[in-house]
Amino acid sequence: MSEPFVLEAAGGRRWIVGSPRDPYGDGYVRTVATELHDDGMTASTVAKIDGRYASLECTLPAFVAGLAADWRGWDGEDLGGFAADLDRFLLT
């Protein structure tokens, strides 16, 4: 992919994702430049992705599942409903 991916919406809003790059030439680290344009403002960054493959235990879903499995709560009453909110977050 040599051309950037551009997603445009009404009103001049755009999301631009550049071509993946291998800055070190090792095939392990990739970077992608991205920009958001809306209402006369622009935000841009370069996202860095390390590693070709991740073992299951190193993925975000596994991390969140580990948090849920290890959750022990606290003594006392949950007056703010935090436990229910946390359950809804972890289950979605």
Q: Does pLDDT of 12 surpass 90?
A: no
Residue 61 shares a structural domain with residue 16: no
pLDDT given at position 29:
81
Please tell me whether residues 28 and 61 are part of one structural domain. Answer: no
Same domain, 48 and 30: yes
Structural domains counted in the chain: 2
* Sheet with 41-50, side-by-side order of all strands: 5-8, 14-17, 29-38, 41-50
- pTM for the whole structure: 0.50
Q: Identify whether residues 60 and 26 lie together within a single domain.
A: no
Strand partners, 12: none
Q: In terms of domains, do 44 and 64 share one?
A: no
Residues 61, 30, single domain; the answer is no
Residue 40's domain spans which residues?
A: 1-52
Same domain, residue pair 45 and 58: no
What number is the average pLDDT over the span 51-79? 69
* Cβ-Cβ contacts under 8 Å for 9 (sequence gap 6 or more): none
Q: Are 45 and 31 in contact (CB under 8 A)?
A: no
